[in-house]
Structure 1
Amino acid sequence: MTWAEHAIFWHVYPLGFTGAPQRAGQTPDAGGTPYPRLRQLVDWLDYAVGLGLNGLLLGPVFASVSHGYDTLDHERVDPRLGTQDDLAALAAACRERGVRLVLDGVFNHLSADHPLVRRAVAAGPGTDEGRWIRWVDGYPRWFEGHPGLVELDLAQPVVASRVAEVMTHWLDRGADGWRLDAAYAQGAQVWRPVLDQVRAAHPDAWVVGEVIHGDYAGFVRDSGVDTVTQYELWKATWSSLVDGNLYELDHALGRHAALLDTFVPQTFVGNHDVTRIASRVGKDGAVLALTMLMTVGGVPSVYYGDDQGFEGVKEEREGGDDAVRPSFPGTPGELASWGEPVSRAHVELVGLRRRHPWLVRARTEAVTLSNDHYVYRATGTPEEVLEVELDLRGGGHRARVRDGAGQAIWSWG
């Protein structure tokens, strides 16, 4: 097993978490003078460890125009978050606590204001400078229609080598792995030359590709990533609870089990791009979703705030992600008391998973299944068995986990 198969991540969007200005230059510290907001996260690592988590999946930290996914410089920490020394301090604090650090690699596209993009546009397609970006009918290709985001041409060897250099640079400085943002956009094959170079220097680096739909197993095989984001299971989890159709969840778990024959998916019920699970299904429903997350195969992550029952709805407009990327207080002691029941459920369910590490590769099979009542058996070896019950009958949200002997070891509702 790799180290990642023992990891349960706390997923944090740092610009939001630390209350950084939304755009570089909005305040004096957001322009050229760094402000060490990243160090706020050091004070929260013990909170994450207290939840039972041992990984930090960190959103973008590199210099950008606004939300972090419009990068200006991959080798400079965003001044709104601090400096390289502040990131190094966070990495060191993670190591001291046995917490693995995974960075967000935004390599599919750059800010339209990135110097590399400006040089490419000035030179035009078919030139040495122009080959760094993708073109459509003589114009720079925008990522998913956003004029502020221009796609790099990852199929070009010079671009692949540069991306590998950046990834290696930060792995040399304490990172343990990478999330590849929008990994799906240019196909799996473009990542293979990049990752071959990275693994030559860091064979233990863990790499997760953001893939929303399609052939997950084929993407892992062709790209060289270790895993991809399991959006299919995420969708089935919340929509089966909303619709009272647990058949959908059972179907998704069947497909999930087939993926485990090839790789271990990265699983989640919340992240920085989607409506909060508590806003979808309520706080009790969110605990049922967490019960599933912690009792099926995968490398799970908990999105910050979900561990407190935070709510927030993503909207398709400018600034529509703000509600799901909020600031946190300065210290854990400042959290409101209303989040304690959900937080306690996280501690208990993460602890249950820690006591059953074989769950990372567990397969599931239905024992009882109806629209509103689902019992599945999670199995490792014949001696490694848990039985999980999700019960929506009567409009309730109840969950129970039993050991192989049929004894209840956890319950909710």
Structure 2
Amino acid sequence: MTGWVPHAIWWHVYPLGFLGAEPRAADAPPVHRLRRIVDWLDYARDLGASGLALGPVFASETHGYDTVDHFRIDPRLGDDADFDALVAAAGERGLRILLDGVFNHVGRGFPAFQRVLAEGPSAPTASWFRLGWPNGPGAEPEYATFEGHPQLVALAHDEPAVVDHVVAVMNHWLDRGAAGWRLDAAYAVPPSFWAQVVPRVRAAHPDAYLVGEVIHGDYAGFVAGSGIDAVTQYELWKAIWSSLNDANLFELSAAFDRHDALLDAFVPLTFVGNHDVTRIASRLTDERHLPHALAVLFTVGGTPSVYAGDEQAFRGVKEDRAGGDDAVRPAFPDTPDGLAPFGWPTYRLHQDLIGLRRRHPWLHRARTRVVELDNRRLCYEVRDGDRALLVALNLDDAPADLPAPSAGEVLAGEASVRPEGRVTVPGHGWAVLSTTDQRCA
């Protein structure tokens, strides 16, 4: 783990949506949109973020995940000069850039695949893909896809030339100032592929942060087998909103146990929203519990990420259909001044909790221990060595009287601390508290 990552908090932007790019590149003239993100960097810094996690910015056919040129900025977003300007402006504000690398598959317009279509089995790039030729060399081949989407052509990850290509792409943009990579659909790629790529990238960029998108399965095993730093913590994401909606905090407690086991091996990327899921403000059935979700995100171990708009309580429901991502990938105004006024209290709540997180950077690897638990009430301790905080959550209408051994002052939220080691949390309330001794009983 590189030395800067324990302090990292990402603000995650999906640029093609954020900047209002046309849905199809073929229909779009080149536009220098990427520099408009510069006008949002002070907003991200003031939020408390230390980095900007960008969705796809490379030349693609539609949504960015059908790449056709990994070495070129999507013309709908701009060009190399626009990218360089964004990196420079972010650096002036102490913000690092995380890029989104789509290396499991490419778009049909990817030149190596187009050469296969033009030249047949004899094409020198035929080995880059998993092909079949049932109708002979004059017909289009069968080819492996990503999750059945014909526009997403799967790469052959046992091909050395594909390894070389991915290494070259990753190092190229790290050389240009990126600080790391999110590896899209990493779960669909054999860990052995990443184990060939990662050492060569680290040799040139030892401080690069590499995080893989892994939805389910053996997270720790994937990290160990691939050599990357982290994976996305979807288990915790699901447990947060599900336990709040079902008033079943036992689910969250169980997720804490699994999360702690992961922290023994690596530090996951944690989140309550991203560009692929329904926004947290829409997912929760009771909007009064949005602060509870955020309190968990910013107190448990992990590297937190905030999806742009969640800090303004944006709504948006992902649907399983063509265009079903559009509602969670909207265009933003040109500057923060164009945001609606009703979202700013949620922004300030994020500021408070991110500020607390940054004042306690040891939370990055902190373990969680439940002090009190029932369906609607939870008090847990987060600890790293001699440093600890207490978090109290109440989903009930009535105030909750909870044991909080050695509770000190209220650092965020609302609670009354009593000298006998208990706290009272209002109905549907929450609190983060300091502790007054070395270890909670």
TM-score w.r.t. length of structure 2: 0.89
Letter in 1 for 2:251: E
Residue by residue over 1:202-227, the C-alpha shift from the partner in whole angstroms, topping out at 9 and shown as x without a partner, is: 11110000000011111011101100
- For 1:156, give the aligned amino acid: E
Amino acid at match of 2:71: E
Equivalence for 1:406: 408
CA distance in 1, matches of 2:89, 2:279: 28
Task: Judge conservation of contact 2:279–2:314 (CA < 8 Å) in 1.
Answer: yes
- The residue aligned with 1:292 is 296
What is aligned with 1:365?
369
Q: Which amino acid aligns with 1:96?
A: E
For residue 331 of structure 2, the aligned residue among 308, 313, 327 is 327
Of residues 24, 36, 57, the one that matches 1:40 is 36
Amino acid at match of 2:270: T
Unmatched runs of 5 consecutive residues or more in structure 2: 135-141, 415-428, 430-441
Q: Give the whole-Å Cα distance in 1 for the aligned partners of 2:384 and 2:51.
A: 23
- Which residue number in structure 2 is paired with residue 317 of structure 1? 321
Q: Secondary structure in 2 aligned to 1:410?
A: strand
After TM superposition, the structure 1 = structure 2 runs for residues 90-109 of structure 1, keeping only pairs within 5 Å, are 90-109=86-105
Q: How does 1:15-26 map to 2 (within 5 A)?
A: 15-26=16-27
Task: Describe how 1:237-248 pairs up with structure 2 within 5 A.
Answer: 237-248=240-251
Deviation at 1:310, TM superposition (A): 0.3
RMSD of the TM alignment (CA)? 2.0
Q: Match for 2:388 among 372, 385, 388?
A: 385
The one-character-per-residue Cα deviations of 1:87-136 (angstroms, maximum 9, x if unpaired) are: 11001111111111000001110001212112234445586421101236
> For residue 62 of structure 2, what is the aligned residue in structure 1?
66
**Contact 2:211/2:269 (8 A) holds in 1:** yes
Instruction: Give the deviation of 1:137 after TM superposition.
Output: 7.2
Q: Contact 1:244 / 1:371 at 8 angstroms: preserved in 2?
A: yes
Cα shift readout 1:16-48 (whole Å, capped 9, x = no counterpart): 111111111334x2xxxx211111110100000
Are the counterparts in 1 of residues 390 and 407 from structure 2 also a CA contact under 8 Å?
A: no
Please tell me whether the aligned partners of residues 11 and 305 of structure 2 are also in contact (alpha carbons under 8 angstroms): yes
Checking the alignment, whether the CA contact within 8 Å between 1:240 and 1:246 is kept in structure 2 is yes
- Shift in Å at residue 188 of structure 1? 1.2
* 8 A contact 2:87–2:177 mirrored in 1: yes
Which runs of no fewer than 5 residues in structure 1 stay unpaired?
Answer: none
What letter is aligned with 2:408? G
Contact kept, 8 Å, 1:385 with 1:403, in 2: the verdict is no
Aligned letter for 2:18? F
Partner of 2:148: 145
* TM-fit CA distance, 1:317: 0.6
- Measured after TM superposition, the shift of residue 4 of structure 1 is 1.3
For the residues of structure 2 that align with 1:355 and 1:283, how far apart are their CA atoms?
27
CA–CA distance in structure 2, aligned partners of residues 165 and 284 of structure 1: 47
Mark the CA change 1:193 to 1:395 in structure 2 (over 3 Å): closer, same or farther.
Answer: farther
Higher mean alpha-carbon deviation, 150-159 vs 54-63, is at 150-159
After TM superposition, give the deviation of residue 286 of structure 1 in Å: 2.1
Secondary structure of the corresponding residue to residue 364 of structure 1: strand
Alpha-carbon distance, 1:141 to partner = 0.5
Does the Cα contact within 8 Å between 2:157 and 2:190 map onto a contact in 1? Answer: no
Give the C-alpha shift of residue 378 in structure 1: 0.3
Deviation at 1:330, TM superposition (A): 0.9
Q: Deviations over 1:32-72 (max 9, x none)?
A: xx211111110100000001111111000001111000111
Q: Is the 8 A contact 1:385 1:404 kept in 2?
A: no
Question: Counterpart of 2:438?
Answer: none
Instruction: Give the aligned residue type for 2:185.
Output: A
What amino acid maps onto 2:280 in structure 1?
I
Structure 2 CA distance for aligned equivalents of residues 409 and 129 of structure 1:
58
Match of 1:118 among 97, 106, 114: 114
Structure 1 residue 404, shift from structure 2 partner: 5.7
Q: 1:232 offset after TM fit, Å?
A: 0.6
Measured after TM superposition, the shift of residue 5 of structure 1 is 1.4
CA contact (8 A) 1:283 1:309 kept: no
Change (3 A) 1:113 1:259: same
2:210 is the counterpart of 1:207: yes
What is the aligned-residue identity percentage? 58
Classify the secondary structure of the residue corresponding to 1:323: helix
The residue identity in structure 2 corresponding to 1:36 is H
> What is the number of residues matched between the two proteins?
406
The farther-off stretch of 333-342 and 317-326 is 333-342
1:403–1:409 CA contact under 8 A, matched in 2: no
Q: How far apart are the structure 1 equivalents of 2:348 and 2:231?
A: 29
Contact 2:210 2:229 in 1 (8 A): yes
Matched, 1:12 2:16: no
**TM-score, length basis structure 1:** 0.94
Preserved contact between residue 237 and residue 270 of structure 2 (Cα < 8 Å): yes
Q: Which residue of 2 aligns with 1:75?
A: 71
Q: Is the 8 A contact 2:179 2:209 kept in 1?
A: yes
Distance in 2, matches of 1:320 and 1:395, equals 39
